[in-house]
Amino acid sequence: MTLARPRLPETTTTGWSFPGTVTDRLPGGLSVLTCALPGQELVAAELVIDLPLAAEPAHFEGVAGVATFATVEATEGPGGGTLTEHLEQLGAAVNANVRHEGLVIGLSVPRRNLGPALEALFGAVYSATPDDAQVERLAAENVNTIAQNRADPAQRAATEFVAACVEGGRWSRPTTGVLETARNIDPEAVATFLRQLRTAPATLVVAGDIGGMDVPAITGVNAPRDLTDRAADSGARPRQGAHALVVDRPGAVQTCLAIGSLGVNESDPRWADLNVAGCVLGGALWSRLSARLREEMGYTYGITARFQPWRHHGLFAISTSVDSESTEPAVADIRTIVAGVVEEGLTKEEHRRAVDLLLGGMPLRYQTADAVAVRLADNLLRGLPADHVDHYQRGLGLVTAQSASEAFATVVTPEALTLVAVGDAGKITEPLLRQGFESVEVVSA
């Protein structure tokens, strides 16, 4: 059942609003979303390509990232030189971001050089051909990144946690792909994916001091044509029951923990309530988890709990690291505290502190053109309206201790939380079995 959004007041509770936007659509199919920010001379632009990783061939998973980064290094225009080199001459910087929802290539550039910077960006993305040697190097770097992430306890815990919570589909695997697929990536696979990328729906987001500039006219010459529909979502499904996965690192003195479950996305009407509950649980130094595990028991230097949104769903995730001997009591405390939020709810004082913290940080969070452009790109990737931040902010003003408690209880089931522990299996497996998980699987690092 899809829940309707609640009716919200017209004004925010802080007096601050997210900057307004204007949308244009060019004849070639490119959408342009502009946000005027007077005084922000460093303009941010994000090319958001609506091509989720579900579009990757199964045996070439990870090719989207290699293709995107190869685009940034591709030779642009008849004069030669890579996109990065062109932008450096313009005082600009470029970055690429590969997400399960889609691809983003962004740049920051002084206002006076926005036109030539966008021309270089579109030339590289839609016209340039990456060099085979560059592609092979980037593919090898991607394989090395996967290997490094598998060896890093915190990264391994995060990766395995997603796979443990999400049953099947591309969402359950990292954006880089896995070793078995990443090793297959070659120049031909990248060229094939680039042809798909260049016909995918795209939106250019531009934020900054753009008063008096015709941004759509600047971008129109290289707009993509013959657009195809986005690939269907891979359909993640939650795993049932309380399961634990131990990634064995013999001799490890610490255990990296990730515990939680599949959650909801930002379009869910409970989103503001859930963020308030998440803040009380583990979003601040005074939160329940931090007060118990960090301050009172000294198990960890830090612990976080948050609701992480994706386009079609999300994750509820608690993350921390503890010494091996503290693994069992730490897990027991985490599960007890989560259950306490469900059974007892939030206090009025906790609710007030959480709302004040979330609302108070919002103007600072979006004070630069880059932050605004990134947020607008996130909205596009997640299927949200441009004014989503204002909707969320007004929603926070309506949250009560009771509504946050009830929302949390509808999304989080304490007895069905999934756990991933990266540490010495010989020390932590038996203690975890005593915690009542339906199964405890042990895999090698």
The CATH classification number of 239-444 equals: 3.30.830.10
Taking each helix axis from N to C terminus, what angle separates 187-197 and 63-73, rounded to the nearest 10 degrees? 80
Cα dihedral 49/54/56/57 (nearest 10): -160
Residue 321 to residue 421: CA distance in whole angstroms: 9
Per residue in 364-420, pLDDT tens? 999 999 999 999 999 999 999 999 999 999 999 999 999 999 999 999 999 899 999
pLDDT band at 281 (very low <50, low <70, confident <90, very high): very high
The CATH classification number of 22-222 equals: 3.30.830.10
How many residues belong to the chain? 445
What is the CB-side half-sphere exposure of residue 168 using CA atoms within 13 A?
8
Place of tokens 């880059």: 370
Q: Of 118-132, 157-171, 212-226, 279-293, which one has max mean pLDDT?
A: 279-293
Question: If we measure between CA atoms, which residue out of 138, 130, 101, 120 comes closest to residue 45?
Answer: 120
Q: Would you list the domain boundaries of the chain?
A: 22-222, 239-444
pLDDT at 1: 34
Going across the sheet that includes 42-49, the strands are 22-25, 31-36, 202-208, 42-49, 103-110, 93-98
Give the residue, 342 or 238, on which the prediction is more confident. 342
Token digits for 168? 């099947």
Identical fold, 22-222 and 239-444: yes
pTM here? Answer: 0.91
pLDDT at 346: 98
